[in-house]
A = this chain, B = another copy of it.
Amino acid sequence: MAKGSGMIHPNMATMIGVITTDCAISSGSLNKALRHAVNRSFNRISVDGDTSVCDMVVILANGRAGNTLITENDDHEYNRFTKALEMICIDLAKEIAADGEGATKLIEINVTGAPSDQDANKITRSICNSPLVKTAFFGEDANWGRILTAAGYSGAVFDPDKCSINIGSIPVFSSGIAVDFDEDHVKSILNMDEIKVNIDLSQGNGSDTMWTCDFSYDYIKINGSYRT
């Protein structure tokens, strides 16, 4: 279970998450697995770039499944558990982002080919927090220029001439050159509840994924007119 969904920005922010499992797992391993999963999920969503001072995710394991106790020494079982936990956390995190104040759609930003994972994360963060990117998605416009610009000012090592951007399955920008894409086709993708943006930097093997939502009139209403 998880609850959002304003003031959402890594790390976590105004949210509470409770995960329960019947699995038997040592508390040290459970702690480590949760930290890994949170980093890939709740720390990878942004609604408004505002971090709250209040956040929490807990996991409770009661061991009722009766399995052999999982510890980090058992790589196979520990990795299976961690993978499953990561899946669940990503699922909950995406729901929080999709449920962001005033949001009409969930946007997934994938960066691949970065010089490092850190560079990739700088770019996903920058794009996910850009009001201009978020308003363009609200307006259902394939504005790759705003995406490219947010990547450019992110502080990451970034070469626009090597960069390619796909919105859904449609290339809109390819190795530094604007693609003459079918606007109606892209519009039909931008009209959906969930949109994936893939940005390939062709600069290395670093990657990152973050989720955000669009920026709508209702965000302003909820956060500007809450007392009237």
Q: Which of A124-175 contact B (CB under 8 A)?
A: 129-132, 135-136, 138-139, 141, 146, 149-150, 152-153
Whose C-beta in chain B lies nearest to the C-beta of A137? B224
The distance in angstroms between the C-alpha atoms of A139 and B123, with both chains bound, is 32
A7 contacts partner chain B, Cβ-Cβ < 8 Å: yes
* Residues B139 and A224 in contact, CB atoms below 8 Å apart: yes
* Copies in the assembly, this chain: 2
* Residues B227 and A149 in contact, CB atoms below 8 Å apart: no
The distance in angstroms between the C-alpha atoms of A49 and B146, with both chains bound, is 13
Instruction: List, in ascending order, chain B residues with CB within 8 A of A6's CB.
Output: 132
Q: Which of A50-79 contact B (CB under 8 A)?
A: 50-53
Query: Which of A19-27, A32-40, A200-208, A212-220 forms contacts with chain B?
Result: A212-220
A31 contacts partner chain B, Cβ-Cβ < 8 Å: no
* Residues A132 and B228 in contact, CB atoms below 8 Å apart: no
Whose C-beta in chain B lies nearest to the C-beta of A131? B48
Interface residues as binary, A74-99 with B (CB distance below 8 Å gives 1, 0 otherwise) = 00000000000000000000000000
The distance in angstroms between the C-alpha atoms of A135 and B226, with both chains bound, is 10
The distance in angstroms between the C-alpha atoms of A86 and B129, with both chains bound, is 31
Instruction: List, in ascending order, chain B residues with CB within 8 A of A146's CB.
Output: 50
Instruction: List, in ascending order, chain B residues with CB within 8 A of A225's CB.
Output: 139
* Residues B136 and A223 in contact, CB atoms below 8 Å apart: yes
The distance in angstroms between the C-alpha atoms of A48 and B149, with both chains bound, is 14
Instruction: List, in ascending order, chain B residues with CB within 8 A of A226's CB.
Output: 139, 141
* Residues A220 and B135 in contact, CB atoms below 8 Å apart: yes
Instruction: List, in ascending order, chain B residues with CB within 8 A of A224's CB.
Output: 135-136, 138-139, 141, 214-216
